[in-house]
Amino acid sequence: MAAANERTTSRGRADSTLGARVGQLTVRVERLSRQVESLTELVRGQNELLQRQFRTQSAPGTAAGEAPAARLGAEADPAGPDDSDGYADLVIRIRALVRSVVPSGASVAVASKGDEELLLLEGRNGWHFPQVEGGEYAGHHPLDGEDATRGLEELREMGAQYFVLPQTAFWWLDHYTDFARHLTDRYRVALRNADACLIFDLQTEGKSS
């Protein structure tokens, strides 16, 4: 009987110790989770800062003559729409323009900055660009022109037939000059609207029209 009581007591102590360790681990996990959230917010803030810097730097154009955006009749707007109503109107205009030139059922890569509204193209398959495996927005702009070119060509190989560059991303053309050259040298401009977007036909290689 004494031995049984001793085993019961030992088991109780072990359970208590295990419970304490579990509690400590839970606290540590919660602390790490908060740290991860803080780091995520920091990275997001840094990305936004870099984006603003890119826009500011791109506005004057490139050193080698006329900027790519100007050549395409799509002057970069460093700030973009200043209010939500203005942006909402832009999204509506882009959707209408896509419907006017892109056939139903086509796959369309969009420089969306993660906005799902820009992918709702009424019968067309909207894809985030850039994106990660699984089709979700990558969470950041391309690192450079080479990265942008590689990413778009990967989507083209996966079936993307058109590429939409919203007016809020026209600064890409002056910042990612290699990417802009790739677009204008290889693909036809299916639609050019300086107040809404550029649409490139990824099926038809050749100089921009």
Place of tokens 């037939």: 161
Q: Domain coordinates of the chain in residue numbers?
A: 68-205
Residues 196 and 93: beta-carbon distance below 8 Å: yes
Predicted confidence at residue 4, as pLDDT, reads 57
Give the residue among 145, 57, 56, 164 at the shortest CA–CA distance from 102. 164
* pLDDT at 190 (0 to 100): 96
What is the value of pTM for the model shown? Answer: 0.64
Cβ(195)–Cβ(202) under 8 Å?
Answer: no
Chunked mean pLDDT (size 10), the chain, 209 residues: 60 69 76 61 52 45 52 52 76 97 98 96 97 95 96 97 97 96 95 96 72
Omega before residue 166 within 30° of 0, cis: no
The full DSSP string for 5-49 is HHHHHHHHHHHHHHHHHHHHHHHHHHHHHHHHHHHHHHHHHHHHH
User: How much is the pLDDT for 96?
Assistant: 97
The length of the chain in residues reads 209
